A and B are shown apart, each in its own frame.
Chain A
Amino acid sequence: MYTSPNRLPAPAGRLVDHENTINFSFEGTQYTGLAGDTIASALAANDVWLLSRSFKYHRPRGVLSMAGLEANTLVQVDNEPNVAADRRKVTQGLQVSGQNCIGSLANDQAEKISLVNRFLPVGFYYKAFFQPKGAWQNIWEPIIRKFAGLGQVHPDTPHGYYDKQYLFSEITVVGGGPAGMSAALAAADAGAEVLLIEQETVIGGSLNYGRFDTEGTLAHTLHDELVTAVTDHSNIEVMTDSVCNGYFADNWLPVIRGHRMYKLRTKELILAPGKMEQPAIFRNNDLPGVLLGTAAQRLIRLYGVRPGKQAVVLTAGDDGYATALELLENGVNVTAVADLRQSFDATPLYKKVLACGISIHKACTVYEALPDKHTRGIRAAALRQLAGIGQCGNEAWRYDCDLLCVSVGFMPSYQLALHAGGKLKHDEAVSGFSITGLPACIHLAGAVNGKNELGSVIESGRQAGQAASRKLGLAVPGAAASRPLNPISYSSINHPWPIFPHPRGKEFVDLDEDLQYLDIIHACRDGYDELELVKRYSTVGMGPSQGRHSALATARVVAEETQRTMSEVGVTTARPPLHAENLAVIAGRSFEPERLTAMHHRHLEAGAHMVTAGQWWRPAYYGEPQHADRWILKENLAVRNNVGMIDVSTLGGLEVRGPDAAEFLNRMYTFSYSRQKTGTLRYLLMTNPAGRIIDDGVACRLDDEHFYITATTGGVETVYRTMLWWNAQWRLDVDVTNVTSAYAGISLAGPKSRAVLQQLCTSTDLAPASFPYLSVRTAQVAGIPARLLRVGFVGELGYEIHAPSLQGEALWDALLKAGREFGMQPVGIEAQRLLRLEKGHLIVGQDTDAMTTPHEARMTWAVAERKPFFVGGRSLQAARRYPSNRKLVGFSVEPEQDEVPGESNLILDGDSIAGHITSVGYSPTLNKIIGMGYARADTEPGMLIQIKLKSGCRQSVQVVEMPFYDPQNKRQEM
């Protein structure tokens, strides 16, 4: 039979299954919990309250909110750091350990740091650790870095499976408490499709654990009524265990459930996230055993855990009395209630607590919690009479207790509303906040809308549900009179100043960052008295809980210290995400598309060494990498002497059609296309508005209103986007389509290419007279419809054959077969790079950089200066008055040397940098090392330029004319 010291019998423990036990370990000790337990509740049931050590002083910490809102409960679960123990469910065999301790959680050696507390004032790291020069980096940083961080990541953690799904809804309600349920019902009744998102495993919110009346039945009755209505409503879909973790523009919501992120678009959004109970600030308010009132209620009702044996309650309204009754009825001995209020109307809850014979101290606070050295929790509460706001008198009481419940006020759960652009506005009269400035598609319901009393919370939900429905154009029934829900009066109060400094400190404003009352004051006195400066200087609110429990108190202390109102001081903003989210959830499955050409498998079969080119895979050469030079040489010679074929499918392809097609190209590219004849092709050079080269290709005129153009592999997406962008303004009658993937491309090059092609292309006359250089034909190649382009990138007679992708492989095979008797060889991009270098053709992006002009690249021949307009033209014209100081030149070197010039070697002008080598390689045809690079603008063939080799040595090399190979262009035009 399962027993735990603090486990309460059913019906306490709505979320746990009393019949179903779970074994897990914490700090190496085995414990038994129940299915449905969180790590924290299961440990609490076993009377384990110490969960972690604080960031700076390594103070013992335990449950505060039981809502997963603070750093106190962060534990290490296996390899996963910083897991909120009060949210993560226990599972069989789970291994949990404490974080940020040296030794063990119970005996943390680093605890001694708090002894030197007074030597570590706020912002202490700015004030020291830097003398002498280098001391920070060499001495102090390594020491301080050792103490940084909480949990641990392990480099061998496997990457789990995470994914994403899209969702859509008409109305989304975030928060399944009374307000959210009421809103969902109102909207669903009006006919809207409603999605209700709840982060707990069940809906019901505070009705699951809260107490609103003397008998403790109201929550229960309302819960059953609303939950049943929501569950039964066919228009409402409920997502539990799901966190809407941020708000992004236009109602775009990431909803995280387990390992999946739903990306939800909703027409209308109702926010009903409720409120966050706030701590009081007194000495040792951070120790295990000091709980928010709602945390005690959650432990009892949700998990069936008795939160302590003997309790003191600190309150400023009925919340504390409700908590006291809950404790009393669940076996906790409540010894005293301290009420911050001087006088108040006796509510039924108050009267009942009084009738139970409990000492109630009015105008009284907890001044200090006394630590228990043995349990690391508390052993007593010291109470003091209040003499004024924040002023403690001399009259004092002391009550033994191991539990101190604090209920002094709330903050709305403002985060999502603030992500959406809302602003927190402080109302001094009720010491509460309201949220203003939201987009019209967002509606607030319940506590986040400033409602505290249960009846008005539910009514506020109904109104929000109706307002959202009306926005959708749905007919909403007339305003039904809201029924009185709360037969008794219940007053929940935000106390304006639950802050009680102690001469010996340790009254924590921010538990995450171990900031005490005086730290905030001192930050102001050091001059950092703007709220954002207080935050940055002291780090208040920057820890894992992101100010959820510290923002309010900080603003209050700063307002007091600087003699300003809360409104003047403001509250810092909230940024996504709402709760810390696993990086893997955000990333989801990693999609990195790979693009394969139609001939990909043929390359693999031929033993190609494949390399990436953007998303594409391309053959670098055919053969194993250790003999790369040999294969490149072989492929190079095949093209020069016989014939080679290169897969050029990755080249961009665009169809440009319409009456204005030629005019469009005229504007997009530097050359002129108006008078280009049908059946010919022409070089394309694109510049950006600053006149710098960004892409090139060829334009094939297929008819008057139709061009087929190519772009570089890496550039085509940008070219396409840029074209659409410009034409959105020009409105030319032209249509551009990116057909890159639709066509496979094979470049057939070499003196024997015509002979090979003619075999497969019997119906077309390939003779130079009828199909000359720089012309384009459509033809059947091996029965496959294709576009034939006579181009000469590598400087030999050659054809590019563009055919539908589906037939690319068949075309490849046919060509390979036809070429066999001519010594044809498949050629990779390495040999192609070398071949084009021999021919002096540049590659955009390699031989040009972001600043290269056509002039510097000696491409002015491709610029039609007399055109009225092209992108970059105006800049090029204006720039002519300011000549460039560099240009692209060719050079050659004898090959037999110890060290040869390499790509990226600098070209020097004296000691300053004139440019660099952009391409270089050994040309087997010329038996020379040839290259190109940027040198001074006045460099001419025959002159010497200085190259700084990798070793640092300098070498003079001779500038030569380009092209290096076949300067008369006889071979490509034959």
Chain B
Amino acid sequence: MPWGLLKYGLASKYPARRDIPGPRELKKSYEIVIIGAGGHGLSTAYHLARYHGITDVAVLDKGYVGGGNTARNTAVIRSNYISPEAIEFYKASVEMFENLSNELGYNQMYSQRGQLTLAHSDASVRAFRLRAEINKHLGVRSEMVDRKQIREIVPCLNMDKKMRFPIQAGLWHRDGGTARHDAAAWGYAMRAAQMGVEIHQRTEVTGIHVDKGKVVAVQTARGTVRCNHAVQAVAGMSSEVARMAGIRLPIRSYPLQAMVTQPVKPFLDPLVSSAELHAYVSQTARGEVVIGGGSDPYELYSTRSTLDLKENLIAHVLEMFPFMGELKLLRQWAGITDMTPDYSPILGTSPVKNYWLDAGWGTWGFKATPISGKCMAESLANEKTARLIQPFGLERFRRFKLFNEAGATAASH
């Protein structure tokens, strides 16, 4: 029994700790307004307060804390990307996750169980080999594994050579892992609030006031608040919110669906994904099997579920794990992914002065929650884009400095 729980058993009255502050008046002005109380917005707020002493900050959300894509993602944390800039960035995030529970005093249930990506074609084998080479060169634990090694890593995988697309090889990423996605938002919210940051749930932003090319205020359903800086961290709605500030983002938004089964006794430790089958599978601490795939084929702002995606995805999962046929699907849901042309985020300054972007997170936002908050806070505090995120500026699209990340993102998230 850990000490942390003793007080709950011994106290006569429940020692409530009010992690997320209750409703309060909105002030007339703040130094910084953060739009979106998801993982990224709250991580930014936390880092501002904790490392830069800036607490005159309001985090606004139209719904509840962590209710957007923070709540909907499938919590894959990895750093096996292709471009050196992305690898450095996500690797720093993985390192932050390793210590995040202790930094926040909030268990993130971070677990490096490793991620195995399967190749069923020559083309994938070639692509993975390249990723492994780049990853190793930059200090990320990532290696090609053959069929024998795959059997050792996930003994229950279908290694039948008569399978339509037999598994040829795999990319084994030991640093890959998972965490409890909600806990990231809650942990950051709790610590940020303790240091004086205000979190306003049910406070929808309805307009952004720009004067002489600089952001001056944010209009909300509860009144207008002035600010010196504003940050948008609204994955799934990035284009719409940026439009309020008069900014056009190179983003197309697609639904991304995921699903989960009823809990069963653990049989799968690592995260397994497949490039050809567009599917990934992991088993949570509760015993549920989480299943995800690629984004929907057309743009949409609706989080409805579809039957055809479920049929195809499950058929592919059963190719990998045929014995799962009698496992029962419990729930299907969707989030909206803001896809950029190069499958990489947009971070930093915008054409509007003092209006900062934390956008374009597509299917890879959760894993960057700690590092993007850290970098955004550093940028805001110094009024200068932090080094790690400089390559990810909106500017790059005008200069055609796109990243080559399409291959590292599909169905691996």
List residues of A whose CB falls within 8 A of some B CB.
55, 74, 79-82, 116, 118-121, 124-134, 136-137, 140-141, 144-146, 148-160, 162, 246, 248-249, 252, 254, 263, 419, 421, 518, 521-522, 525-530, 532-533, 536-537, 539, 543-544, 546, 575-577, 580-584, 586-588, 590-592, 594, 611-612, 690-691, 714, 845-846, 849-851, 875, 878-879, 882, 903-906, 912-913, 916, 948
Please give, as numbers and ranges, the residues of chain A lying within 8 Å of B183 by CB-CB distance: 126
A129, B105: Cα distance in complex, Å: 10
Cross-chain pairs A/B with CB under 8 angstroms, 18 sampled: A81-B264, A128-B3, A128-B4, A132-B102, A145-B285, A152-B267, A153-B326, A248-B305, A419-B305, A528-B20, A529-B22, A533-B20, A536-B182, A546-B330, A584-B318, A846-B123, A875-B400, A904-B133
**B315, CB-defined interface residue at 8 Å:** yes
Please give, as numbers and ranges, the residues of chain A lying within 8 Å of B4 by CB-CB distance: 127-129, 131
A567, B14: Cα distance in complex, Å: 28
**B89, CB-defined interface residue at 8 Å:** no
A560, B59: Cα distance in complex, Å: 27
Please give, as numbers and ranges, the residues of chain A lying within 8 Å of B108 by CB-CB distance: 130, 136
**B134, CB-defined interface residue at 8 Å:** yes
A590 interface neighbour in B19, B190, B286, B315, Cβ under 8 Å: B315
Query: Are B329 and A586 touching (Cβ within 8 A)?
Result: yes
Please give, as numbers and ranges, the residues of chain A lying within 8 Å of B187 by CB-CB distance: 126
The stretch that binds A, out of B211-219, B306-314, B361-369, is B306-314
B residues 37-67 in Cβ contact with A at 8 Å: 63-67
Query: Are A690 and B402 touching (Cβ within 8 A)?
Result: yes
Query: Are B400 and A157 touching (Cβ within 8 A)?
Result: no
A112, B187: Cα distance in complex, Å: 31
Please give, as numbers and ranges, the residues of chain A lying within 8 Å of B310 by CB-CB distance: 576, 586
Give A592's nearest chain B residue, CB to CB: B164
| CB proximity of A661 to chain B, nearest CB, Å | 28
A133, B183: Cα distance in complex, Å: 17
A141, B266: Cα distance in complex, Å: 12
| CB proximity of B381 to chain A, nearest CB, Å | 27
By DSSP majority rule, is chain A's interface helix, strand, loop, or mixed? loop
Query: Are B314 and A149 touching (Cβ within 8 A)?
Result: no
A918, B141: Cα distance in complex, Å: 23
A588, B312: Cα distance in complex, Å: 10
Query: Are A145 and B266 touching (Cβ within 8 A)?
Result: yes
A913, B82: Cα distance in complex, Å: 11
A527 interface neighbour in B22, B102, B286, Cβ under 8 Å: B22
Query: Are B137 and A584 touching (Cβ within 8 A)?
Result: no
Query: Are B315 and A904 touching (Cβ within 8 A)?
Result: no
Chain A proximity mask over B94-134: 1 for CB below 8 Å, otherwise 0: 00001101100011111110000000011100100110111
Query: Are A948 and B326 touching (Cβ within 8 A)?
Result: no
| CB proximity of B39 to chain A, nearest CB, Å | 13
A536, B68: Cα distance in complex, Å: 13
Query: Are A588 and B134 touching (Cβ within 8 A)?
Result: no
Please give, as numbers and ranges, the residues of chain B lying within 8 Å of A126 by CB-CB distance: 106-107, 180, 183, 186-187
**B207, CB-defined interface residue at 8 Å:** no
> Contacts A125-B285, A153-B265, A590-B164 given; 20 further ones with Cβ under 8 A?
A81-B327, A82-B263, A116-B1, A119-B9, A126-B187, A129-B2, A129-B107, A133-B99, A137-B111, A148-B287, A149-B266, A151-B262, A153-B324, A153-B327, A159-B325, A528-B19, A537-B186, A580-B329, A583-B325, A587-B314
| CB proximity of A39 to chain B, nearest CB, Å | 15
Give B404's nearest chain A residue, CB to CB: A851
A121 interface neighbour in B8, B22, B306, Cβ under 8 Å: B8
Please give, as numbers and ranges, the residues of chain A lying within 8 Å of B3 by CB-CB distance: 128
Please give, as numbers and ranges, the residues of chain B lying within 8 Å of A532 by CB-CB distance: 63-64, 67, 71
Query: Are B112 and A154 touching (Cβ within 8 A)?
Result: no
Query: Are A576 and B305 touching (Cβ within 8 A)?
Result: yes
**B317, CB-defined interface residue at 8 Å:** yes
Query: Are B102 and A130 touching (Cβ within 8 A)?
Result: yes
Interface centre among A136, A611, A691 (most CB of B within 10 A): A136
List residues of B whose CB falls within 8 A of some A CB.
1-6, 8-9, 14, 16-22, 63-67, 71, 84, 98-99, 101-102, 106-112, 121-123, 126, 129-130, 132-134, 137, 155-156, 164-165, 180, 182-183, 186-187, 190, 201-202, 261-267, 284-287, 304-307, 310-311, 314-315, 317-319, 322-333, 341-342, 399-404, 406-407
Task: With A121-B5, A690-B402 as known contacts, state yes or no: A584 contacts B264, CB within 8 Å.
Answer: no
| CB proximity of A230 to chain B, nearest CB, Å | 28
A543, B318: Cα distance in complex, Å: 23
A231, B226: Cα distance in complex, Å: 69
Task: With A131-B102, A150-B264, A849-B407 as known contacts, state yes or no: A118 contacts B9, CB within 8 Å.
Answer: yes
Please give, as numbers and ranges, the residues of chain B lying within 8 Å of A141 by CB-CB distance: 109, 111, 285
Query: Are B133 and A546 touching (Cβ within 8 A)?
Result: no
Interface centre among B67, B186, B265, B322 (most CB of A within 10 A): B265
- 9 shortest A-B CB distances, which residue pairs? A149-B287, A584-B325, A128-B4, A527-B20, A130-B101, A525-B16, A580-B328, A119-B9, A148-B287
Task: With A127-B107, A588-B315 as known contacts, state yes or no: A81 contacts B9, CB within 8 Å.
Answer: no
Query: Are B18 and A525 touching (Cβ within 8 A)?
Result: yes
Give A829's nearest chain B residue, CB to CB: B122
Query: Are A79 and B326 touching (Cβ within 8 A)?
Result: yes
Please give, as numbers and ranges, the residues of chain B lying within 8 Å of A116 by CB-CB distance: 1, 9
Task: With A136-B107, A248-B305 as known contacts, state yes or no: A157 contacts B325, CB within 8 Å.
Answer: yes
A128, B183: Cα distance in complex, Å: 13
Query: Are B107 and A527 touching (Cβ within 8 A)?
Result: no
Query: Are A583 and B327 touching (Cβ within 8 A)?
Result: yes
Query: Are B133 and A905 touching (Cβ within 8 A)?
Result: yes
Please give, as numbers and ranges, the residues of chain A lying within 8 Å of B327 by CB-CB distance: 81-82, 153, 582-583
Query: Are B64 and A530 touching (Cβ within 8 A)?
Result: yes
Query: Are B14 and A148 touching (Cβ within 8 A)?
Result: no
Task: With A150-B262, A151-B265 as known contacts, state yes or no: A849 contacts B404, CB within 8 Å.
Answer: yes
Query: Are A263 and B307 touching (Cβ within 8 A)?
Result: yes
A246, B307: Cα distance in complex, Å: 9
Give A533's nearest chain B residue, CB to CB: B64
Task: With A904-B126, A904-B130 as known contacts, state yes or no: A144 contacts B285, CB within 8 Å.
Answer: yes
Please give, as numbers and ranges, the residues of chain B lying within 8 Å of A539 by CB-CB distance: 286
Please give, as numbers and ranges, the residues of chain B lying within 8 Å of A533 by CB-CB distance: 20, 64-66
Task: With A130-B101, A530-B201, A612-B121 as known contacts, state yes or no: A124 contacts B8, CB within 8 Å.
Answer: yes
| CB proximity of A970 to chain B, nearest CB, Å | 32
